[in-house]
Amino acid sequence: MTLLAFAFALGLPLMLALALSWPQARGLVWRMMPAAPLPALALALLAPMPLQTQAEWLILGLHFGLDDVARVFVIFTGLLWGAAGASARHWMRADPRATSFGVMFLMAQTGNLGLLMAQDALSFYAFFALMSFASYGLVLHNRDTQAQAAARLYISFVVLGELALFAGLALAATQAGSFLLADLREAPLSGMAVALMILGFGVKLGIMPLHFWLPPAHGAAPVPASAVLSGAMIKAGLFGLMALLPLGNIAFEDHGTVLMAAGMVTIFAALLLGVQQSSAKAVLGFSSVSQMGILALGLGTALLVPAAWAMILPVLVFLAAHHAFAKGALFLGTGAFAAQSSLPARIAVAAALLAPALVLAGLPASSGALGKEALKTALGDGSAVWLPWLTVALSLSGMATTLLMARFVWLIWAAPPKAPAPTAPDALLLPFATLATFALTLPLTWPLIAGAFSEPITAAPSGALWPVATAAAFAAGVAIFAHAQRIGPTVFLAQLFGPARSLGARIDRMITARRRAARRLGHALPRRLGETAMRWRLGQTATAALIAVVFAVEMGANMRSPDATEMPQLELPELSTGPELQGPSLPSFE
């Protein structure tokens, strides 16, 4: 029964890919595209863990199963493939090469889900190769010059990575004496085997200097393919390193040092390259490269200090889910923005894009901030020499991502991406909104998804605001300076002070108009009052009223007097003739 469940989970997308070759079934297959990962999701959500099964009759007896780590990877990977499939239904509606896209899309999905369920090196490599080579068709889909160049670069790195990975797996299986991944993780592998696997998975992960294929591939592929390339398939490199390397058992100091140094360079070099891009999707590609540099810091620390792996493992799983939802939402949101025809709709979608962008940048209390804070705590169990540098790199990575997101938001307005002509704008909004909601609510739902893995995240502090705020202020300043340089200082100052001058002029005009109105009213009021008085005969009425008032006042005064006929006698004081009141005698003129 368990084997049938795995067969159905991996067989459904593969059967749908085969059904696309039948023209009469294509309509039904495209309608079922979003449901292709549902059996794998149901298996991860409902089956008890750990889960193991074996197909003894198939080749060398392939093993499939799920543990706690693989279960979480299947959950966020399946959700992302489902949302991308829902978007692809409408994105490819009138595309003449929609069938080839659908076949490659479903085959890559089969490989992606299969490698997460594989428990032996042979099946893991087969599914990993299926995913990688099927993705070549997604990158090449448009067949234009950009797509052809990106596809050539992509397939070159894929072949290099597959060769290194095959050699590393063969060497590791020989040294371990087993093909089972669990035995490889416990075996004392050589430094060469570990280096080859790091090289093979590092190509898929996009760590510098193995990143050159990633931004062009993201820019050339259709939007639904870009979402799964960045959100799901590059995580196969992280999962492979976690599933095959003896992390937590053996120290590989040189490998860990190189991986940490590459991660630090990747975080900030991707910023310098990303802000120079002229395509919004290419900027998102470099953002993915930068985010993978953060994961490389944790992996390098675990290789250097195996005792730190127990704390680092759950944090890396959380960061993988965080990046999958946020980056998938940004790519699907870019397509939804391109499909909108009205300015209000584009403004609304651009405002909604800010949510996953800020989550990816590490806004406090978001999954980005919680993941970085938890990783800082986990790295405290690692090398004391590297810890200060890693802490500074993680803190400044928020600034790097914020600057890349600012460039992305600017470019979707300055150079809007193109969408196929007969698209359904409202239908493209639902997958984007779903992934954006997952990205925003991941800190709340993580205890339900991860179970015991959630403790480092729930105990992490909310993070600081200053990296995001500083980078946002710097980006705004750069944008203002660039605008001033483009239009010239005189015009810029006129635009800067123009609103204040316009407001002052408007106020002056209002005051002048009020004064003119008051003067007109002052001139017109006496005339109107006179006309009204003549019309109502107020002149005679006012005279009669005045006489009546005087008469009433006089009558009131007489009524208050006790004897109005007698005049009161005033008694004057006698004048004193004393000497003190006598003045100097006047001279006589007699």
Identity of the highest mean pLDDT range in 75-89, 490-504, 512-526, 541-555: 75-89
Q: Mind listing the pLDDT tens digit for each residue in 119-159? A: 999 999 999 999 999 999 999 999 999 999 999 999 999 99
**Is 342 a residue whose pLDDT tops 90?**
no
Mean pLDDT of the chain: 87
pLDDT for the residue numbered 194:
95
- Per cent of the chain over pLDDT 70 is 88
Average pLDDT over residues 56-80: 88
- How far is it, in rounded angstroms, from Cα 298 to Cα 241? 12
pLDDT for the residue numbered 420:
83
pTM: 0.83
pLDDT for the residue numbered 308:
92
- How far is it, in rounded angstroms, from Cα 28 to Cα 40? 20
Average pLDDT over residues 231-255: 93
pLDDT for the residue numbered 553:
64
Q: Mind listing the pLDDT tens digit for each residue in 365-416? A: 999 999 999 999 999 888 888 888 888 999 899 999 999 999 999 999 888 8
Residue 315: enclosing H or E segment and its boundaries?
A: helix 309-339
Assigned token pair, 54: 């074996």
pLDDT for the residue numbered 585:
45
Q: Mind listing the pLDDT tens digit for each residue in 262-300? A: 999 999 999 999 999 988 999 999 999 999 999 999 999
Average pLDDT over residues 561-582: 46
Nearest alpha-carbon partner for 291 in 276, 274, 277, 308? 274
Assigned token pair, 489: 């200082």
- How far is it, in rounded angstroms, from Cα 72 to Cα 89? 26
Percent of residues in the chain assigned helix, strand, coil, to nearest 5: 75, 0, 20
Q: Mind listing the pLDDT tens digit for each residue in 302-315? A: 999 999 999 999 99
Distance of alpha carbon 42 from the chain centroid: 28
Nearest alpha-carbon partner for 245 in 209, 191, 315? 191
| Greater model confidence, 540 or 334 | 334
CB 49 within 8 A of CB 71: yes
pLDDT for the residue numbered 516:
81
Q: Mind listing the pLDDT tens digit for each residue in 166-210? A: 999 999 999 999 999 999 999 999 999 999 999 999 999 999 889
- How far is it, in rounded angstroms, from Cα 165 to Cα 201? 7
